[in-house]
Amino acid sequence: MKRLQGKVAVVTGGARGIGRVIVETFVNEGAQMVFSLDVIESQFESPNVRHVVLDVTNREQITAFVETVKKEFKQIHVLVNNAGITRDALIQKMDEAMWDHVINVNLKGVFNLTQAIAPIMMENREGSIINISSVVGEYGNIGQTNYAASKAGVIGMTYTWAKEFTRKGAAVRTNAIAPGYIETEMMETVSAKVIESICKKNPLGRLGKPQEIANAVLFLASDEASYVNGHVLSVNGGLRL
């Protein structure tokens, strides 16, 4: 039996990068339906995937989407809060718009989706929420004050929800994954010299692959992780050793 057989999942930022690979992995593992949410259209075709153009900062869009899913499927088993952006600058040069945009998408967006979907999981007394944080949220990075704050905040919410959503015996688990530097569109703007430096500092000597993050997400989404709750899984090749 496949690991997500019959499950209904929601993945934000599902049209590209890590999110797209998560969607593909969930389908391959038997998910009944995967809702891929993004601000852009996706070309991935499958009868088990529905693409929804949705802004995670728009609460009205989220409410309408969740009500539609609840009416049709009754349950959402898995939520992956993956949508994220960067607007990098040293703090002296970071304007308020850069700060607000990153915080709104990366932090408030996670809050918005979880606030809308967690009650459905708690009502059905089961579910798995996986928040995509970052190694930057754990250790910081020059020029990424806004991004670091947003991803550290995601970790804080993860710990809180791991306690909050398991009250009264509800088996709604909340975990986070903190990827290191991964081969995605976000890294395309990074110079070859910087990438070489990153790889030299990593014991495995390379960038991570989106599938390696998707594999970790799959584990936390599945029943194999039924006793894993309130954990931040670092998938970074040993970058901080």
* Domain carrying residue 105: 8-233
Average pLDDT over residues 191-201: 92
pLDDT at position 40 is 86
In a domain, 240, yes or no: no
Total domains present in the chain: 1
Domain containing 86 — which CATH number? 3.40.50.720
How far apart are the C-alpha atoms of 48 and 4, rounded to whole Å?
12
In a domain, 2, yes or no: no
Confidence bin at 185 (pLDDT 50/70/90): confident
User: What positions carry a catalytic annotation?
Assistant: 147
pTM (2 decimals)? 0.96
Average pLDDT over residues 210-230: 99
In a domain, 218, yes or no: yes
H or E segment and range at residue 103: helix 96-103
Contacts within 8 Å (CB) and 24+ apart, 35-43: 35/8, 35/9, 35/10, 35/11, 35/65, 35/69, 36/11, 37/10, 37/11, 37/12, 37/13, 37/65, 37/83, 38/12, 38/13, 38/14, 38/83, 40/15, 40/16, 41/15, 42/14, 42/15, 42/16
How far apart are the C-alpha atoms of 108 and 149, rounded to whole Å?
12
